[in-house]
Structure 1
């Protein structure tokens, strides 16, 4: 995760609260691991209770926002993990791989320090089901440019299981596509401020924001996407990657 999070991470902990339903999927994938390394740990989201967790995070701002009850945190990067070989039962990472400068090296480092599973929550850039990209095509282009293809993980980690992560309509974690049933949220500057993708596209978002507001005011959004309002969860492209 680049150190730009020292800027965009302000108030991140309040806007990116871990969703317990997604957390349960991650904890289930970690299985019976006792010691866990959380790479790109941010403000401490999804660090499992009942396990001995060590966090690794490059951003000073993100480290500052970690609660006192959070796991021990070490400042560092995925590509150069400051730990011995086989130091942890499992290694996890949540929405972090696309921020690394060398994904293959970071995955090799995770493999080096783990005796067991590696669990990654990531996004499939081939997924085009989210309505948000109809308003912000720049987001799709950004995903194509920065997100690893799902097939890449097998090349970096060996055999992996890939499972979709359904996002609840009231998801408490404000990642990019979390508000699929709450379109008004994207008009809030504070909500978008916790999304690195909106920072990345900058002023290019203005046209889409104006169109989204107009469609919400006129009812055009609901006419086009109203079927989503009856869904409790939606597959918007997030995937759980787990090694055997």
Structure 2
């Protein structure tokens, strides 16, 4: 979705800050890799600062938002990585696989250029339980259509380790489920602008009117108020680690 991100990504850097707890999980999975390729790098979230990182990103809008001092970036696509076989100690890809036009080819490319781990943060499309889908069932349809099944990773990468990534209640990275304990955030068009799936739902404002009413009347709290006692929640995000 590179062209779409030239629109979606306009204010991405401000709304999609890396969460340190998620970053720690990614860093641990990278092991002792000294050179890392970040595919679908966006504005540079989760790029480790103590390693030599090369970033690859298709969207000009995202590239322009990379901060001063960020890793050098190449404009390109996961499906056709411009690097030699086993060029990097590790490869990482964070919440990007669902935007690729040819996911099996992109995953094969990640494996090709890594001589060590391939670390992917993604979402399991079979996961259910996020309350927002009660208001926007289209989110399930979108996930099933664009998210690879978890079996696809082993098929492309060989043996993989897949672990849940619990989302903290105060997650700094504003992806879809980040605001699971802050429901009013989904009524803010500025926040929604940096979440790609919202751009695919027609008449979104009208469909969110029921959420607004339920928050005002207390109906949301009656049904989901128990979530406010949780520090983190498994919402289907998964860390996939292939070993080359």
- TM-score (norm: length of structure 1): 0.98
Question: C-alpha root-mean-square deviation of aligned residues, in Å?
Answer: 0.8
Looking at structure 2, the residues matched to 2 and 200 of structure 1 have their Cα atoms a distance apart, in angstroms, of: 15
Looking at structure 1, the residues matched to 221 and 84 of structure 2 have their Cα atoms a distance apart, in angstroms, of: 53
Please state if 1:13 is matched with 2:13.
yes
Unaligned stretches of 5+ residues in structure 2:
none
CA displacement, residues 120-167 of structure 1 (integer Å, 9 cap, x when unaligned): 000011001110100000011100111111111111111000000010
Looking at structure 1, the residues matched to 206 and 161 of structure 2 have their Cα atoms a distance apart, in angstroms, of: 39
Q: Which contiguous aligned blocks of 4+ residues in structure 1 show a shift greater than 6 angstroms?
A: none
Counterpart secondary structure, 1:91: strand
Counterpart secondary structure, 1:10: helix
The aligned residue for residue 30 of structure 1 is 30
Looking at structure 2, the residues matched to 235 and 69 of structure 1 have their Cα atoms a distance apart, in angstroms, of: 34
The aligned residue for residue 59 of structure 1 is 59
The aligned residue for residue 141 of structure 2 is 141
The aligned residue for residue 98 of structure 1 is 98
Counterpart secondary structure, 2:202: helix
Counterpart secondary structure, 1:93: strand
Unaligned stretches of 5+ residues in structure 1:
none
The aligned residue for residue 231 of structure 1 is 230
The aligned residue for residue 80 of structure 2 is 80
1:53, distance to aligned residue in structure 2 (A): 0.3
1:208, distance to aligned residue in structure 2 (A): 2.9
Counterpart secondary structure, 1:202: coil
1:201, distance to aligned residue in structure 2 (A): 1.4
Counterpart secondary structure, 1:161: strand
Query: Would you say how many aligned residue pairs link Structure 1 and Structure 2?
Result: 243
1:207, distance to aligned residue in structure 2 (A): 3.7
Looking at structure 2, the residues matched to 202 and 110 of structure 1 have their Cα atoms a distance apart, in angstroms, of: 34
1:63, distance to aligned residue in structure 2 (A): 0.1
The aligned residue for residue 132 of structure 1 is 132
Looking at structure 2, the residues matched to 11 and 202 of structure 1 have their Cα atoms a distance apart, in angstroms, of: 21
CA displacement, residues 75-125 of structure 1 (integer Å, 9 cap, x when unaligned): 000000011111100000000001000011101111111101000000011
